């Protein structure tokens, strides 16, 4: 039952919704709405004996009544009805059943008994079960949004499994805000049958998945998650957030997912050995997958910092050193080149402080010089998008005619900002491609939203230097793992 072919599960041509409903308060309604709203590319068969049609779609009384084959059935009806429905699915030859229904092993001994019963029955039919107690699955290729929550994920190269439905779907939701795109998502629920190791293996061999992401609670030495991950992580990054890192968290996890999570220290070391990129906070998780999915890895841990503001350079340098990254001094040659651009009293050091020079902007040349210098592996660019910001501000100002006349100087002053695309941001996108070095922008002032940075220029931007450093640290650690000899 391990490592099954899950292609039909994630990319079904036909999907039966058992418990489809038009009644308020039924998950069978909400999920159906989500599926239709997302324009699922396959056929949908609502199954409900009490109505003839739902949303204008013909409704079938039973699974057996559906004319064609069914790749996936989803069940949302009460726990006591599930066992008989598995029989119906088995007789119909359905290979995958997603059991959204709760009140199984998470609810006590009777639920555990029922879960065992439906899983054994499913296995006797050769059915794979997702869940029970899952919040559903998502797949970009077929526009399959078979999810309980009301989130429409951004599409991209990340695939995620989650031992918490809520944490998982909030990551999809963060992704919408932060422009982080997903290819597949599965809430693994109670893992009565298919578990995280199955999804991990499937994502590993799936060409559409560039980065594997996971939230786990019950992963420790007792499962084969780590040995499997250790092999995969040489080929594809695996980025995990672990819940249950502490005593009180472990107790909560045991109550939540029934997991027997080990201590934080054991997990962290074991994750590291397996080449897993491990994050502790949810924001760190979404930032990290975004960078891994869209940027090249740095070759080493030497970071160049260019900044429009001295204080931000100080904070970025502090964050780098605290994270174990290097901020190397500049070469004499580089200093000589930058002397031509910057005021006499510039720092002649890394961070390169542009000392508020905006007119005749030295940012693009300094960025290029630094990116092309062999002495650094990655760049943090603080305030690169400032021109666009200043221009947008000047556009927003309203006032008496004379005030407006003066204000036009702003758009003159930041003239390059008036052009779209912003030359500095476009340059960063280009340098990332030509030098193969990750250049992370940090916005000073409101500038663009983080979304726009990525959408307009394909560059990654964070609102604070600390978030940029945290992500670079993970990229450097993973690069070091890849450079280490395989066992």
Name the minimum Å distance from CB 191 to a copy of itself. Answer: 14
Q: Which is nearer to a copy of itself, 169 or 291 (CB)?
A: 169
- Minimum distance of a copy of itself from residue 402's CB (angstroms): 5
Query: Given the rule CB under 8 A, which of 41-49, 254-262, 294-302, 432-440 is the region that contacts a copy of itself?
Result: 254-262
**169 versus 459: smaller Cβ distance to a copy of itself:** 169
Select from 93-101, 119-127, 225-233, 460-468 the region that touches a copy of itself (CB under 8 A): 460-468
- Which residues lie below 8 Å from residue 67, measured CB to CB, with a gap of 6+? none
- 289-300: b (≥16 Cβ within 10 Å) or e: bbbbbbbbbbeb
Compute the distance between CA of residue 61 and CA of residue 48 in angstroms, rounded to an integer: 5
Binding to a copy of itself, residues 122-181 (CB under 8 A): 149-151, 162-170, 173-174, 176-177
Residue 225 backbone class (left: φ over 0; alpha: ψ -120 to 50; beta: rest)? alpha
| Contacts of residue 162, Cβ cutoff 8 Å, sequence gap at least 6 | 168, 169, 171, 185, 186, 187, 188, 214, 215
Query: Which one of the spans 44-52, 83-91, 204-212, 465-473 is the region binding a copy of itself (CB under 8 A)?
Result: 465-473
Per CB under 8 A, 245 contacts a copy of itself? yes
Residue 119 exposed, middle or buried by CB count within 10 Å (0-12, 13-18, 19+): buried
Q: Does 219 bind a copy of itself (CB under 8 A)?
A: no
Interface pattern 184-213 for a copy of itself (x via CB under 8 A): ------------------------------
Q: Give the CA angle between residues 473, 296, 453 to the nearest 5°.
A: 90
Is residue 244 near a copy of itself by the rule CB under 8 A? Answer: yes
Given 4, 13, 92, 107, the residue binding a copy of itself (CB under 8 A): 107
User: Which listed residue (83, 434, 446, 484) binds a copy of itself by CB under 8 A?
Assistant: 446
One residue of 81, 83, 205, 247 binding a copy of itself per CB under 8 A: 247
335 to 374: interface string for a copy of itself, x by CB under 8 A: --------xxx-x-x-x-x--x--x---------------
Residues 279-338, interacting with a copy of itself (CB under 8 A) = 280-283, 308-315, 317-322, 327
- By C-alpha distance, which of 393, 447, 408 is closest to 425? 447
CB of 272 to a copy of itself, least distance (A): 18
Separation of alpha carbons 95 and 72, rounded Å: 7
Residues 2-61 that bind a copy of itself (CB under 8 A): 22-25, 29-30, 33, 36-37, 54-56
Please give the Cα distance from 386 to 397 (Å, whole number): 17
Count the alpha carbons within 13 Å of 218 in the hemisphere toward its beta carbon.
19
Q: Which H helix or E strand runs over 33?
A: helix 27-37
Kindly give, in sequence order, each residue whose CB lies less than 8 Å from that of residue 295, ignoring residues fewer than 6 positions away: 432, 438, 440, 460, 475
């Amino acid at each position: 039952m391990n490592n099954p072919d899950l292609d039909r599960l994630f990319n079904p041509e036909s999907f039966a919704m058992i418990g489809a409903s038009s009644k308020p308060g039924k998950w069978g309604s909400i999920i159906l709405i989500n599926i239709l709203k997302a324009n699922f590319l396959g056929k949908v068969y609502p199954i409900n004996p009490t109505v003839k049609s739902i949303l204008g779609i013909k409704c079938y009384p039973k699974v057996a009544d559906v004319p064609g084959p069914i790749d996936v059935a989803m069940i949302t009806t009460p726990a006591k009805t599930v066992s008989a429905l598995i029989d119906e699915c088995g007789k119909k030859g359905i290979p995958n059943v997603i059991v959204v229904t709760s009140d199984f092993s998470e609810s006590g001994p009777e639920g555990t008994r029922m879960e065992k019963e439906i899983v054994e029955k499913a296995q006797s039919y050769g059915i794979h079960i997702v869940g029970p107690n899952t919040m559903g699955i998502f797949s970009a290729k077929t526009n399959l949004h078979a999810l309980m929550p009301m989130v429409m994920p951004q599409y991209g190269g990340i695939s995620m499994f989650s031992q918490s439905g809520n944490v998982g779907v909030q990551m999809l939701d963060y992704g919408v805000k932060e422009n982080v795109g997903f290819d597949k998502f599965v809430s693994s629920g109670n893992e009565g049958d298919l578990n995280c190791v199955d999804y991990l293996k499937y994502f590993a061999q799936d060409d559409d998945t560039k980065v594997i992401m996971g939230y786990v609670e019950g992963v420790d030495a007792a499962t084969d998650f780590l040995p499997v991950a250790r092999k995969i992580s040489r080929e594809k990054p695996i980025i995990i957030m672990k819940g249950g890192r502490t005593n009180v968290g472990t107790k909560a996890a045991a109550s939540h997912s029934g997991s027997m999570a080990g201590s934080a220290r054991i997990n962290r070391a074991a994750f590291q050995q397996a080449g897993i990129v491990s994050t502790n906070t949810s924001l760190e998780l979404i930032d990290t997958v975004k960078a891994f999915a869209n940027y090249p890895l740095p070759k080493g841990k030497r970071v160049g910092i260019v900044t429009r503001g001295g204080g931000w350079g100080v904070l970025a340098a502090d964050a780098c050193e605290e994270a174990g990254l290097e901020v190397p001094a500049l070469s004499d040659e580089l200093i000589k080149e930058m002397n031509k651009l910057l005021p006499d009293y510039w720092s002649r050091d890394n961070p390169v402080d542009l000392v508020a020079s905006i007119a005749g902007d030295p940012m693009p040349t300094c960025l290029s010089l630094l990116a092309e210098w062999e002495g650094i592996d990655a760049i943090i660019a603080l305030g690169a998008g400032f021109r666009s910001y200043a221009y947008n501000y000047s556009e927003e100002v309203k006032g008496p005619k004379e005030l407006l006349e003066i204000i036009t100087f702003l758009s003159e002053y930041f003239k390059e900002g008036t052009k779209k695309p912003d030359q500095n941001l476009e340059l960063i996108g280009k340098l990332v491609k030509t030098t193969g070095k990750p250049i992370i922008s940090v916005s000073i002032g409101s500038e663009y939203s983080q979304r726009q940075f990525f959408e307009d220029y394909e560059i990654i931007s964070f609102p604070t230097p600390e978030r940029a450093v945290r992500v670079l640290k993970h990229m450097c650690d993973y690069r070091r793992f890849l450079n280490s000899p395989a066992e």
